[in-house]
Structure 1
Amino acid sequence: MQFALPPRSPHLLPHARSSRLPIYRRKQLKTVALFGIAILSLLFICSRLSSSSSTSVATPTGTTGVVIVTLLDRENFSDSYLNKIVANREDYAKRHGYTNFFATVSDYKDAVGDAPKSWALVPAIRHAIASHPRSAYFFHLSSHALIMNPSKPLKSHLLEKSRLESLTLKDVPVVPPDSIIKTFSHLKENDIDLIVTQDKEDVSPGSFVLKNGEFARFFLDVWFDPLFRSYNFAKAEIHGLDHIMQWHPTILARTALVPQRTLNAYSKDSTGASSDGTYQDGDFVIRFPGCDDTKGRDCVQELEPYYKLWLRKTKTD
């Protein structure tokens, strides 16, 4: 970088001894210029490193930190049943200043195509992110589930740095019981964009938390790839998630597996819970997986006693 200097006049500083001053000043200016360039370069590099080190979106002032995403099947369940689910989510959101996003399975028929309708949860979450682009976290919870401990904010229960790092399961098989692919042992809170649990056999996406950002969009695009939807996995999107968690290290490197009861406890009538995955009083969430497609089970009947228990809790909290 060069700096323009005034032309030297023969009438100024006529003595040879005085000619040292412009040289000295030029050296000073050059030093200052180089120092300024170094500072600007350092600031630029720091800003680039900062922007690339985390792809998550900060929560701006005046926006909610958490959006609860619930996908409702209005074609197969009565308004009476679904209204109980909605009331449960609305109570929890109101307590903690969160936002609800209710979607309907039928809204995503075109996106899902010929694949099982359970795949609709992926475009529903993408829809929620597009509708609330400035929110920091998206908490997907199946419509066959209740939040049973409404006094627990998601932040202190799961998202705070020390809490999340203490819960993260490290160096364990991704797909139980004996997957050769294991979770990373060095994960820290700022590495984590996806928080999910396992049950006895699979990664269990009926309840999970996804941090907004570039990773979220990448993850949802990979999961919803047409190849996986057309592959005829026995458990559709569940086995699709099992696959990408094991064979896409970019995704596994940003994922925390946490104990099942932290986020996704199963009811006593649900098969497949992990060894410590069945609901106990005080747990955050109870889910009823399989209540809609297992012979001899009924979602409405299974939900009712827990819904009444939840109502009593809301009156005492």
Structure 2
Amino acid sequence: MQFALPPRKGPVAHPYARSSFLTLHRRKQLTAIAVLSVALLAVFFLLSQLFYSSAGAAVISIGTPSVVIVTVLDRILYSDKYLQKIIRNREDYAERHGYTNFFANLTDYNSYIGHAPQSWGVVPAVRHAMATHPSSTYFFHLDPHAIFMAPSKSLQSHILSKHRLETLMRRDVPVVPPDSIIKTFSHLRHEDIDLMVTTDAKGLNTGSFVLRQGDFARFLLDTWFDPLFRSYNFAKAETHTLEHVVQWHPTVLARLALIPQRVINAYSPDSIGAAVDGTYKDGDLIIRFFGCNTDPKRNCERELDPYYNLWAKKLKLE
């Protein structure tokens, strides 16, 4: 009987085996994908550097105003002629320095304020401005009964720059003059500060302050506007509330810079309660007619006119 010889062993191609050509092709694909991935990561990294500083803080993109000036207008109590002067003054200042204005109507916040004094409107107005301009850095609330008198001075050079602010900061002084036991910290630096405000002869004054956008700002505004504080019936409403928050919460005090009154809150000669050297002098950035809306013997529109005319004259001379 003859047996068939087994087939000779040799290289047999497996039906599912990859050819050397396919392997080489696959390697080239993987190399290309790897190179593309690295390139994409590099692009994302470079883009991230355009929008974030090395410390992780947002950098203002082109076209975004660095400063938003917040003004709460009472269109019921004051004439349109008076308010238009305020608006025109603000718009001129903002246009000069690349800022923008946020003009809020007091009545828009009535449902939030409830039965509390109308002056509380400043807090939701600033929060509203931040929501409207989420990429802007600083929010400068300025009482409507005030105007810019030195339009060429930018807020950056006047208060916001590192050297300038550290020069202005009043360290180790009573938060509420003249003898509050709570004092401003002596070790604070420019980068620590989120809230810049002045005091007059009697205490903090919220008619003019600067707040930096961020988590702290939102925390402060939420705390400041707490319903319990609004119902507490503080004599000076939101002003006394802020004094309370600053003195009882070191977290807030650690972010606060008290600056000389005339820097952003100089009172007119007719205003009472100015701090020492807190009354307006020629060359000051702002004049504020503090109390003109609460003293029945005074008239805001009448007090504004001579200073507004002086400001308008300066514009013509430029």
Q: TM-score, normalised by structure 2?
A: 0.82
Residues 131-170 of structure 1 deviation map (CA, whole Å, 9 limit, x = unaligned):
0000011011010000110000100111110000000000
1:85 aligns with 2:86: yes
> How far does residue 180 in structure 1 lie from its aligned partner after superposition?
0.3
Partners in 2 of 1:253 and 1:315 — Cα distance? 44
Report matched runs for 1:51-62 at 5 Å: 57-62=58-63
1:181 aligns with 2:176: no
Look up the match of 1:255: 256
Residues 172-212 of structure 1 deviation map (CA, whole Å, 9 limit, x = unaligned):
00001100000000010000011110000010111111111
Partners in 2 of 1:130 and 1:142 — Cα distance? 20
Report matched runs for 1:290-301 at 5 Å: 290-301=291-302
Residues 222-279 of structure 1 deviation map (CA, whole Å, 9 limit, x = unaligned):
1111111111111111111111111111111001000000110000111110011000
SS of 2:257 mapped into structure 1: strand
Look up the match of 2:161: 160
> How far does residue 316 in structure 1 lie from its aligned partner after superposition?
2.2
Look up the match of 1:64: 65
Check whether the contact 1:57–1:212 (CA below 8 A) recurs between aligned residues: no
SS of 1:146 mapped into structure 2: strand
Partners in 1 of 2:317 and 2:141 — Cα distance? 26
* 5+ long unaligned stretches in structure 2: 1-51
* 5+ long unaligned stretches in structure 1: 1-49
> How far does residue 51 in structure 1 lie from its aligned partner after superposition?
9.3
Matched AA of 1:63: T
Name the count of aligned residue pairs.
Answer: 268
> How far does residue 313 in structure 1 lie from its aligned partner after superposition?
1.4
| Runs of at least 4 residues off by over 4 Å | 50-54
Q: C-alpha root-mean-square deviation of aligned residues, in Å? A: 1.6
1:209 aligns with 2:210: yes
Report matched runs for 1:224-303 at 5 Å: 224-303=225-304
SS of 1:266 mapped into structure 2: coil
> How far does residue 57 in structure 1 lie from its aligned partner after superposition?
4.1
Partners in 2 of 1:315 and 1:194 — Cα distance? 35
Matched AA of 1:85: I
Look up the match of 2:43: none
Look up the match of 1:30: none
SS of 2:141 mapped into structure 1: strand
Partners in 2 of 1:52 and 1:107 — Cα distance? 39
Q: Which structure is richer in relative contact order (CA contacts within 8 A, separation 6 or more)?
A: 1
Aligned identity (percent) is: 63
Look at both structures and tell me which one has the larger radius of gyration over its CA atoms: 2
